Amino acid sequence: MAETCIEDYPADKPFPSALFFKPVGGRPLHVVLAFDSNGEKAYVITAYEPTFMTQSVCPICEGTKHQGTTTFTVDYTDGVLVVRNVPATICSQCGEDWIADADASRLEQITNVARGEKRQFEVGDYSLATAV
C-alpha cells in the first residue's frame, strides 16, 4: 500500500473521511475515502487526478503542454517591466503559461527592485537577471 494520507476530514457527515494520495501507473491519484463508525468499511467518495500535478495536459483546454519560455510583463504604478525568456510550461493549443514558484518569486523580487527605483520602462532578459 503506497497511499499517503494528505488530509483528514474528521467532521465529515455521515462518516469521517480523509484524502489520500496514491501513485497509479506512474500517475498521481487523489482518493477521498469515508470510514464508517466502527472502521470496518471504507467508502470511496471520489477519485481524481489532480491537474496541478499533471504536466502534460492543459487544465483549461486539454491541449498539450511543453517546456518553453514566456515573456513576463507587469504594469505597476510608476512604470512597466518586461522580462523576456522566463522558463515556463506552455500550452501549445491555447497559449496559457505556467511559471514555476521559484521563478515567480524571483520575478517578484525583480519587480520590487524596478518599482523601488521608479523605473519608467525596463526590458530585461531573465537569463541575465541577477538574483536580488
Give contact residues for Zn ion (rule: CB under 5 A).
58, 60-61, 63, 91, 93-94, 96
CB of 69 to Zn ion, least distance (A): 17
Name the residue nearer to Zn ion (CB basis): 57 or 113: 57
- Position 24, amino acid: V
Name the residue nearer to Zn ion (CB basis): 44 or 94: 94
User: E-assigned strands of 1-132?
Assistant: 4-9, 17-24, 27-35, 42-48, 65-76, 79-91, 97-98, 121-125
Dihedral, CA of residue 103, residue 23, residue 92 and residue 82, to nearest 10: -10
Name the residue nearer to Zn ion (CB basis): 27 or 66: 66
CB of 102 to Zn ion, least distance (A): 23
Phi, psi of 14 (to 5 degrees): -80, -15
How far apart (Å, rounded) are the C-alpha atoms in residues 103 and 70?
12
Name the residue nearer to Zn ion (CB basis): 17 or 70: 70
CB of 110 to Zn ion, least distance (A): 27
CB of 129 to Zn ion, least distance (A): 27
